[in-house]
Each structure stands twice: as structure tokens, then as C-alpha cells.
Amino acid sequence: ETRYLLKVKNLSAKPETPQAVKLMFGIGILAENDKEKAEESVNAELYPEGLSIREVKFDEKGYVLIDTFDNEATDEWGDVVPTDFVLDFAVPEKRDDGRRIVRVLAPKDFSPAFGGLKGTDERTARLAERFRYTIQETQGNLKAYEFAPQEALVEEKGKPYYLTLPISCAYGQEKYTLDLPIRLLGGGPGPLAGWDEAFADMKKIVSKVGGISPEIAGMLRENGKKMSTAELRLVTRKICHDAIIYYTKDAAEYEQIAAELDNMLFYAEWMKWFGDQAFSYLISTYYGNTADALLSPAKDIFAAFLGEVIDWLLYDEEINLDELETIKNITAGVDNLITNAFDDVLDDVIEKKEISLKQVCAVAAGFLVWKIGKNIYENRDKDGKIDLYSAITALTADLTAMGVKKIAGIFFNKALESSAVQNALNKPINKWLQNIVPNMVKGRWVIDEQGEYLLKIVEFKQSDIIKKYLEEIFGAGAAKVVEMGAEAAQDWLNSTGSGETPVDLSAWPRISWIIESKEQNGKKVASMISVDLSFEAVGKFFDYLFGELFGEVPFATETKSLPVDPPYLPEKSFDTL
């Protein structure tokens, strides 16, 4: 029998950094003569000197991939299965005949030691200090271990966790060290789905990630059933955000967040937080005049509103908005605004009466808080949950002038029940009537015999003509005109103590006033006019009134679209948004 010796020479360049993995390759052997041909192959293994690892997955940069976040569920390990790996230990030796050989030690012949994780930068250095895990040897014929995370990591997009795991082993007088490059794979909130998925994700996050106390985690799991899909997503995002800070920021920064979390041990505090998040979103979306003028005061009013209703919200009980002190104050604010703005003022209402823009904006902000109250029960989550966050962010549809005007109209109708408001409306109604029925006369320009332009007045002398004209404005059947003596009319006018023609609002929505005109013979003619304001006519007057009161308010110029998945906005000063 003929024996052959195969000699393989390693001509590869020496690596710049220690290698953690052995290389395997095949060598083909071919022999033939005139009569026959033989082929064979030999597998060769090229070991790094010292320790090497196998039976693991690597990324494109050569880092060992370690899962720390929900890859599969097991009874023994829960959501995260440990990452298994095998170590080999290869050392050079000389035989008695002087030849150098490589010895791969049997598993029983070497005992590696593991050091603690080390970061590759400041961020991962903090992670290495705080992340909890175990490395245990498993039973078998190989030097096999399992890396078992004790908590889940949250990973920011584009910011992988690169670390090294020191492993050392001695052979004779030589000590070999391998700084194994590893990448800890984290997770996050995951994609938006339905309520069931959002609830399951929230429970998993608060139970697995570090930096959250068991008491807070338990409270959130228990009360998560009350949250809407949007609110569950917000909680999940916040806990993920806080976990990143816990693992990667300095202690002082996380201690501040931990202290804030400790103050949120009761679900009522989280409901307040949902409100803060919603207003933060609106203020950042409408950053500028609209946020400063409307949303900031609305946030303050809402805090008082929530203090009144939070017990009802916690137990999903119905509330009567009109019975709340906050809503009563909003209603009173509307009455006061109308009364103060139009009291003894004819022109330039707001400026002359020195009603500040801040006061007007506060009334408009109250309208928004009332709308939030309506949204809470009328616009529930599609799964039937009270959705406080979305009830507030839905204001994106109400921040334009048209949106606020719709809400203001409801309060305007209520305000008309007040005699003080009726009296205060005398002035603006007079002004409005002068615009649409100027002194109950018509005028037109004509050319006289000399060719000059003259203004010719066409006077209404008969009540039926006045009535017909008014019905064209206010609608058929709305007007009633009664001719009366000029002396009686003058007595009525004098009794008002005013030099101008007043409007009687005591029977609102019927308004009455007296008009005087002169016949061609110079005789005075007076008519008592009463009009039942139709819905359309009241609407026209309200348009005028709204413009007088809120014309300077910086309403939003467009309706913004809400994001499908609510963003988490860490608490910060609105001045820095």
C-alpha cells in the first residue's frame, strides 16, 4: 500500500485583528494513468490560534448576533430564547521529530473564562454596565454555552449596539484572549395593528425592558384594558424611549425620568399624561401664533376640566357637560365678552372697549375644551374605548375660523337667553341693520335737467311696502309692520334715553324697532317694525357678530391631518419645540 503526505501551506495574509472563526475549505486530489483515474477530496480546517467560536450567526461586519427581544416564545425562557454558541481552542505544538502541528483541544481539556461586556463607545459602555445577562455551559460533547438575556433591549433605528465579550483561556504558560465582537439585537413598539395587538405589545414591553419598576409595570398591565389603541401605543413608545435612556445615558438623566415615573403609580396620572401628549402634538403641529393664542390657554382650561371629570372617565361613566363648573365658566365667559364688548360702544368694538386679544382668545379656547368634552363620548376608539388622546387631537378639525365659529354658535344661542346679553346686543344689531336695511330707505343717483348728478331718495310711506322689503331679507311671514303716530313714536324713542333708534330684544328672537320718515308734504310718518329672525337671518347676524368679536384671533389657516400612529413627544418646553 502506497501512502502520500499532503502538505498545505497557508499563503493568506495575516489578519490585522484577531480572528474569532475557523475557516473550512476543501482540496481536490486527482490521480490517473493510462488505464485508470482516481479522485478524492480532503477537508481542511484553518483555526485561529487560541479561542474561536462557531454555531452562531454573524452580521456583515463580523459581529456575533445576540437576540435580546422577542424572537420566539417558549415555556422555559419566555419570549427570548438564549443564543447558543460553541468554543474551540487551538494551540501550536512541536512533535518529537520537530514538526509543528496544530492541536485542537478536546472540550474536557480547556476551561475558558468570560469577562464582562465592554462597550465600543460611550453609549454602549453604559449599556455594558447596566444590561443583565447570564452565560452558562450546556451539557454535551462540545464546549457549548448559551447567552441568556435577563431583560429586553430597545434599539433605536440606525443605532446598533456593538460590544465585545472578553474570553480568555490558558494553555501551559501561555494565556490566550479573544475579544469577541457581538451585536445585541433589540426591538421596539413594532408596527401599528389592532387593539388586541397593541395591548399585547404594551404588556410585553413593560414586563421585559429595564428601567421600569414592577409596580408601574403591574399598574399598566392592569389598566391597559381601559386604554384606546392610540393610548396603548403611546405608553409603549414612552417605556421604550425611557428604556433607551436607562441603558445608554448617564445616571443623572435617567434618575430624572425614573423619578417622574414614580409619580405615575396611579392610572389617573397616565390619563393626565395622555392629555399632555395630545396638547404637545397640537402645539408642535400649530407652532406659532395659533398655539400661543389658542392652544396654550385651552391646555390650562382643559386641566381644570379633567380635574372635574377624571373619576367619571376612570370608570367610563357618562357626564353632563352643562353641569360642570368648567363649562359653566366657559358659558359665563361668552356672556361677559358680549356684554363688555358692546356696552355703550358703537364702532371699533374691541379696541375702543379695550377688550384684550388675550381675553377673546381665552373665550375661544373655552370653546375648544367644550368640544373635547363632546369628543370624549361621541368619538370613541373603534373598539369602544374612551380615547382621551384622540378626543383632544381631533381639534385639528376645529382650529380654523370656520371650525371655532361652529362651536361658538352653540354658545351664542345659549347667551341669547340672558337679558344682559340681549341688552348688550342692541348696539351691534343696530349697526348690522344699518348695513342691510339702511334707515329703511332706498336711494339712487339721477341726472337733473342741467345734467348734474343728484341723489334721489325713494321713501317707504306705506307699511305693506316696508313689510315686503323686509320679507325679502328675513323671509316670508317674518316681518310685521304697524304704522303709528309720529308723536307716539317720538315718546317711545325719548324713553330709551338714547339719541339713536334702539332695537327691542326683549322677545328674542323677535326684534322690534321704530323708523321715522317724512312724506313729501313734510309730515312725519312712523312705523313699528317687528321681525321674527329665521335661522338663516340669525346666522347672518351671528356671522357679523363673530367677525366683530373674533376677527383678530389667529386661527389656523388649514385643517391638519392626524398621523395614523400617534407619535411620542418627550416632555419639553414648548419654547424649544
pLDDT tens digit sequence for 189-204:
888 989 999 999 999 8
Q: What is the separation of C-alpha 284 from the centre of its chain, rounded to a whole number of angstroms? A: 9
What is the structure's pLDDT at 180?
Answer: 95
* Measured distance CA(76)–CA(300) in Å, rounded: 50
- Cα separation, 24 vs 44, whole angstroms: 6
Looking at the DSSP assignment, which residues form a beta bridge with residue 114?
Answer: 167
Taken in order 65, 69, 72, 75, the sign of the CA dihedral is positive
Fold type of domain 51-185: Immunoglobulin-like (2.60.40)
Q: How far, in Å, CA of 474 to CA of 463, rounded?
A: 16
Give the per-residue pLDDT at 154. 92
> What is the predicted pLDDT for the residue at 210?
84
Summarised one tens digit per residue, pLDDT across range 63-100 is 999 999 864 544 444 557 799 999 999 998 888 887 88
Dihedral of the alpha carbons of 477, 483, 486, 491, in degrees to the nearest 10 = -60
Strand, coil or helix: what is 339? Answer: helix
Name every residue whose Cβ is closer than 8 Å to that of residue 150 and which is 6 or more positions away in sequence: 132, 133, 134
Q: What is the pLDDT of residue 575?
A: 33
H or E element: which one contains 283? helix 267-285
Portions of the chain given CATH number 2.60.40:
51-185
pTM: 0.78
pLDDT of residue 370: 96
pLDDT score of 125: 95
**Which pLDDT does position 435 carry in this prediction?**
65
pLDDT at position 379 is 83
Q: Which residues of the chain have pLDDT under 70?
A: 1, 15-19, 70-79, 343-354, 434-466, 469, 485-502, 516-525, 535-536, 571-577
**What confidence score (pLDDT) does residue 509 get?**
74
SS (H, E, C) 9-56: CCCCCCCCCCCCCCEEEEEEEEEECCCCEEEEEEEEEECCCEEEEECC
Q: What is the pLDDT of residues 503-531, one digit of tens each?
A: 777 777 778 777 766 655 566 667 777 87
